[in-house]
């Protein structure tokens, strides 16, 4: 690694948005430390991305492995601060909450919420959140979702974690004023990434009353995904957000903000419930 380059940590870089973001920052002249879950991915990406990429092998639910990774980054930085931490790792598995296994719900919160908190706690001192820090602090960028403000059916566990991330990000933003560490939340819309490849497996719910409506919702999601943002476009936005001198508190990045975010926020909740229900078959049958 070229130790004179600015450095940042990105979680979940094995594919999709994380990989595109790692590439974008490397092209911009950064050192990138990226988390992957397997040694095989670490070897593959080290070869693919070059000398200024440093793989960190940890699962965001593994506290000791995260601590070990933070210690390794500290060693390699040799007193220099991190420019940024991009919390990108996450999961999204669909299903009606009435029938979704509680282990799947718990896994969402362990990965998307508790794991994110563990990672952020581990790397915040390198961003400047410590009393003895001198210099320009780095910043935290949390990859949230429009689903953190607009709830979709059949994505309840995922939606719950993204609503939680809205609150966590606001709390951190206010607390970290003490150290001048900005916290930025990204309200991301549909992107063309592998996170959705396994997310809408509805076979376990075939014999439930929700199977038909869930299939119609999955069809809608797939159509929307075809028009989704590319990971490369979003990655470019993240580079600019990290580098802008005074970032906004929240950025909404979506292919159709009017339909996916603005209209659901403006119309009454009961009307939006009815529109969704009618569109995918969630309204009760007429007696």
Active site residues: 158
Cα diameter, the chain: 72
Nearest partner of 167 among 189, 193, 149, 155, judged by Cα: 149
Tokens of 127: 């961003």
Alpha-carbon span 121 to 18, nearest angstrom: 20
Question: Among 56, 62, 16, which residue's Cα sits nearest to residue 36?
Answer: 56
Q: Which two tokens stand for residue 116?
A: 């994110």
For 233, residues 6+ apart whose C-beta sits below 8 A from its C-beta are: none
Residue listed under structure tokens 């896994």: 107
For residue 236, give both structure tokens. Answer: 């470019």
Q: Are 201 and 215 in contact (CB under 8 A)?
A: no
- Which strands form 84-87's sheet, in the order they lie side by side? 53-57, 31-36, 7-10, 84-87, 139-143, 183-188, 250-253
């Amino acid at each position: 690694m070229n130790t004179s380059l600015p450095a940042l940590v990105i979680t979940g870089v094995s594919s999709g948005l994380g990989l595109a973001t790692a590439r974008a920052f490397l092209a911009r002249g950064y050192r990138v430390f990226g988390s992957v879950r397997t040694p095989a991915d670490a070897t593959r990406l080290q070869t693919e991305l070059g000398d200024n990429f440093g793989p960190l092998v940890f699962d965001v639910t593994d506290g000791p492995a995260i601590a070990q990774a933070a210690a390794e980054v500290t060693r390699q930085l040799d007193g220099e601060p991190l420019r940024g931490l991009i919390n990108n790792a996450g999961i999204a598995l669909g299903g009606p909450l009435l029938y979704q296994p509680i282990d799947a719900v718990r896994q969402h919160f362990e990965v998307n919420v508790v794991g994110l908190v563990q990672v952020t706690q581990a790397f915040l001192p390198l961003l400047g959140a410590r009393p003895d820090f001198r210099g320009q602090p780095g910043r935290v960028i949390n990859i949230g979702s429009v689903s953190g403000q607009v709830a979709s059916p059949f994505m309840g566990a995922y939606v719950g974690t993204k609503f939680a991330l809205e609150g966590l990000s606001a709390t951190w933003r206010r607390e970290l004023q003490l150290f001048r560490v900005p916290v930025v939340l990204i309200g991301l819309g549909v992107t063309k990434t592998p996170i959705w490849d396994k997310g809408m497996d509805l076979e376990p719910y075939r014999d439930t009353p929700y199977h038909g409506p869930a299939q119609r919702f999955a069809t809608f999601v797939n159509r929307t995904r075809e028009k989704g943002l590319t990971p490369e476009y979003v990655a470019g936005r993240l580079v600019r957000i990290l580098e802008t001198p005074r970032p906004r508190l929240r950025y909404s990045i979506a292919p159709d903000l009017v339909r996916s975010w603005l209209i659901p926020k403006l119309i009454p909740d009961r009307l939006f419930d009815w529109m969704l229900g009618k569109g995918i078959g969630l309204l009760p049958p007429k007696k």
